Amino acid sequence: MARPPFDPEGFEGPLEIPSGVVAAMIAHCVREAPRECCGLLGGAPPRVGSFHPLRNAATAAETRYDADPRDLIDAVVDLRRRDAEILAIYHSHPRWEAVPSRTDLDENHYGAVPRIIVSLLTDPPDVRVWRLGRDDFQEVPWVAVDDDALHPPTAGE
């Protein structure tokens, strides 16, 4: 029997993120600085099971992100193959706090799907999860968990 589709509107958390994914996500953010980076986390709610770093194709990549279309398609195909869903979208704020900006709200194309923002202002980086609205945002709880259910990345990650 198929599980019901992920309803991000009703998801209260906590989002369970394997510690290896948290480390890989932070490493991706640090590696791309001073550019913003982005990616997807996939799985079956509430547990993240895969990490999909995406290239930032934005022309003003130090202050914006725009996922490379080919990378995004490849990640979604991989998630469908696994019968998984997008559980969160992440991006970095190399020079700002881990709080959604007006640009984050204005360019929200995935509705209530949780957004992870990684701020590089602190060491260690600050990782926070948000649900974005048109003009507001709410923090979503998350926890780091063991890596036992983590899927390996797809080719090219």
Q: Which amino acid is at 123?
A: D
Active-site choice (36, 62, 85, 107): 36
Do residues 55 and 9 lie in contact, with contact meaning Cβ atoms separated by under 8 Å?
Answer: no
Check the CA dihedral 78-34-131-106 and report its sign.
Answer: negative
12 is catalytic: no
**β-strand 142-145 against 15-18: which pairing, if any?**
parallel
- 132, 157, 142: which is closest to 71 by C-alpha? 157
Active site residues: 36
